[in-house]
Structure 1
Amino acid sequence: MQILLANDDGIHAPGLIAMAERLKSLGDLTVVAPAYEQSGVGHSVTYRSPLQVEEIYRDGSLFGWSVHGSPADCVKLGILELCPRRPDLVISGINAGSNYGINVLYSGTVAAAIEGAFFGITSIALSLNCSVPPDFDRAADRSMKIIRRLIQDFPEPGLLWSVNFPPSDVEMKGVRFAAMGVRRHTESIERRIDPRGKPYYWSGTDPLENHESDEGTDIAALSEHFATVTPLHFDLTKVSLLEKARSLGWD
């Protein structure tokens, strides 16, 4: 099995390194990750400037390639240029921070997995809640168990999954398949004043408590200290409205 590993936290991120060490037991691994942190960039791609790529070594051996671009850039380059053959599996993460609810739409971690799914390759995004110092080794061990089960129980190519783990200091109760929560009840922007008296703004943090904990969602399950597994797809068409619009008979 050929595996492509990417992330949005950068080529030197501890979550990426922890997963790289374990994924080698599953197949041949190629690591392609951003040269620097790209959190929150969503599915941005680079097309107005060239993508610079550098080899990265760890302990005297080639670890992977760093890309001066986005997570989606990394996966596209990995599939088309840097992997020795077409990947059978794309893994993104482990992200330092959860990607639950509508945060999925902003996430560079999930975007890297979506890019893999664009190519018809099963892709899995992995994220760890970092409200306390994260234990990426433990999360990586848990991730491998979930990855093995997903590719065993869902062998269809091109599937897209988002996996979230609760904080490292809580007793994880198990794993739940959950829908993506889509409702927030709190938005926050912090206004500050600079030394010259001019206002500037920080986008606020987005904890679980800011979201509606609807039953069956990743928000509810993570709040109860379960890991969540969410099947995603990237067709944003609202089919019911499309059918109604077509029935109106516009010329």
Structure 2
Amino acid sequence: MSYRKIFIALVFAFASSNQALALNVMLTNDDGFQHPWIRMLQSELVKAGHQVTIVAPEVNQSGQSAALTLSAIRGGSEAIKNPSPDIYSVQGSPATATILGVKEVMTERPQLIISGINEGANIGVISAFSGTVGATIAALHLLGEPIPAIAISGNLIDKTGEPNSDANIQHARDISQFMVRLVAGLERATVDGTRILPPGIALNVNYPSITADQIKGVGVYQHGRDIGVNFTGKGALPVSVTESTNLQDTTFLQEGFITIVPIDGDYTAPNWNSILPESLLQDLNS
């Protein structure tokens, strides 16, 4: 499936409320299994008919990227608690929760892993340091055949309130309902009937901090480079510092668009074979 086909599927998903087939979904995050936004996403996905299991860190693990808690991985089920049906906590990072969720918790391999809803945008260069995004990288690279994965993030709409304030809970509901439509649209665009994303591809989705009726649209973008970082009590938060007309998530999220960036977790530079001068390699090999 090409990125163009992904874009068509996403636009269709945003415009449609029809449900598709039920999926076996695993939810994780980096804010911890008790965060109200992951619980809201679970609720809306279940309403849509999906089988949903939360496997998320026991405590906040923001900013962990794709870090692994090796002691938890080696300990297996000893690092996992089951406080209530279909909800599991893991003593480790988001990527660790993803690995243990698939290996130790899920009786069947999940058809989709969703990481979020994260409290705080994960756009531009900050995405590489995000535990929310890092969980999807684990799904792509550390579990054998890649598992389709989506990271979903959004800033608080009520910036002075707690995540469970009335306005922020409604915001989480809006984001969750969009995710239901996104998953349904991707299912309808499936080519072989078994995968909702191309092998080795995950999506990094960000939802603007505005009400649902103010959303300007949905688009596929690249991670922006025009960004600064504020370090706060929560962690590292991205701040756009320049304007750009390029197709960058940092620009379009600020303008009121839901941004989707296809990612593969490969740190190799696009022009890797032409960065170093040939003369340097000749010297090193002499």
TM-score range, shorter chain: 0.7 to 0.9
1:35 aligns with 2:77: no
- The superposition leaves residues 88-130 of structure 1 with CA deviations (integer Å, 9 ceiling, x where unpaired) of 1111111111111111011111111111122311100011121
Corresponding letter in the other structure for 2:185: R
Q: Any conservation in 2 of the 1:181–1:212 contact (CA below 8 Å)?
A: no
- Conserved 8 A contact 1:4-1:31: yes
Asked if the contact 1:6–1:91 (Cα under 8 Å) also holds between the matched residues in 2, the reply is yes
Q: Which amino acid aligns with 1:150?
A: L
Higher-RCO chain (CA-CA 8 Å, sequence separation at least 6) = 2
Name the aligned partner's letter for residue 79 of structure 2: Q
Aligned match of 1:194? none
Q: Are 1:178 and 2:221 counterparts?
A: yes
SS at match of 1:11: coil
Instruction: For structure 2, list consecutive stretches of 5 or more residues without a partner in the other structure.
Output: 1-22, 159-166, 191-195
CA deviation after TM superposition for structure 1 residue 63, in Å: 3.3
2:266 aligned with 1:235: yes
Displacement of 1:34: 0.7
Identity in percent: 29
Once residues 266 and 236 of structure 2 are traced to their aligned partners in structure 1, the CA distance between those partners, rounded to angstroms, is 28
Q: Which of 81, 93, 103 is equivalent to 1:54?
A: 81
Q: Which amino acid aligns with 1:176?
A: G
Unaligned runs of 5+ in 1: 191-201
For the Cα contact (< 8 Å) 1:67–1:74, is it kept in 2? yes
* Match 1:86 to one of 109, 113, 121: 109
Name the count of aligned residue pairs: 235
Q: Kindly tell me: are residues 182 and 30 of structure 1, through their superposed partners in 2, closer, same or farther at Cα, counting changes over 3 Å?
A: same
2:175 to 113, 125, 139: 139
Tell me which protein shows more helix as a share of its residues: 2
Pair 243,124 (structure 1): closer, same or farther in 2 beyond 3 Å: same
Contact 1:181 1:214 in 2 (8 A): no
> RMSD between aligned alpha carbons?
2.5
- What TM-score do the two structures reach when normalised by structure 1? 0.83
Tell me the SS of whatever aligns to 2:121. coil
Instruction: Please name the residue that 2:240 is paired with.
Output: 209
Helix, strand or coil at the partner of 2:44? helix
Letter in 2 for 1:175: V
8 Å contact from structure 2 (residues 30, 61) kept in 1: yes
Structure 2 counterpart of 1:10: 32
Q: Deviations over 1:210-244 (max 9, x none)?
A: 35534211111111101111101111112423346
| Residue 158 of structure 1, CA deviation | 3.6
Give the Cα–Cα distance (whole angstroms) in 2 for the partners of residues 231 and 166 of structure 1.
18
Which of 161, 164, 175 aligns to 2:203? It is: 161
Residues 80 and 216 (structure 1), Cα distance of their counterparts in 2 relative to 1, 3 Å cut:
same
Cα distance change, pair 114–67 in 1 and its aligned pair in 2 (3 A): same
